[in-house]
Amino acid sequence: MKKTFIIILAVALLFVFCGCGDTNANSGPVEIPPQAADLEAKGFKCTLKLGEGADYKTICKQDPAQATTGTLTITECNRYKAGTTLPKEGLAELEGYEWVEIKARTVFDDQNSRLYGVDRASTVTTYYEQKYYEQHVKDLEDGSTSFSVVKDGKEWPECLYIKTVDNQGWNEERQSVCEYTWYARVPEGYDGVVIVFFNAGLKWEDGQYIYEVLDKDALLFRAE
């Protein structure tokens, strides 16, 4: 009887010290990546400046074998903290977060754009932890995109961005014009929101990171 009791006690102690019965035992701690300048480390710099035009090279819509070059300008970059009047109806506030509003304008007026149209491509990414971002970004049914970022060693999982096309068409000067607005909900003071314009002819396969897709003509703007 004494021998049996000792065996039972030994087994109980083994369960305690090995953490058996702990539902989180196999999950491990959440790994928070360092806030490093990941895009620049991969060779991509955010060279677009507010109000300054830059050459935007892409393919033509009707004939992708043809190329066209226009001008891309970031026209506005604004921040709206919780409790202030937001720039668009339906933007939800969350404690600790703010909304970043970025406006851009593209203008094409070369011969190819007139003959074959323009195919533009753009997206949002982060200046920092690229792999972490790509693992947490998700397109939602309402057309918005959710994502997570890291700031000050803390995860912020309630980030969101919305893209709108405000104006698109030909103006009186026979220029192909397109105006966009992005609304991004990020932690207050987060300086990692990056808007990227790239050649629409680039192939972006499933599982690829953005730095594996972009070429040297890609244009990046960082909301600092």
Place of tokens 């972490």: 132
Q: Give how far Cα 183 sits from Cα of 57, 101, 116, Å.
A: 25, 5, 31
Kindly report, residue by residue over 94-113, the tens digit of the pLDDT.
999 999 999 999 999 999 99
- Per-residue pLDDT of 128-176, as tens digits, reads 989 999 999 999 999 999 999 999 889 999 999 999 999 999 999 999 9
**Which pLDDT belongs to residue 32?**
64
How is residue 60 written in tokens? 């033509």
Per-residue pLDDT reduced to its tens digit, 190-207: 999 999 999 999 999 988
In the predicted structure, residue 7 carries a pLDDT above the cut 70: no
DSSP 54-70: EEEEEE-SS-TTSEEEE
Residue 194's nearest CA partner among 128, 139, 136 is: 128
The pLDDT-based confidence of 34 (bands split at 50, 70, 90) is low
- 30, with CB counted inside 10 A (0-12, 13-18, 19+), is exposed
This prediction has a pTM of: 0.83
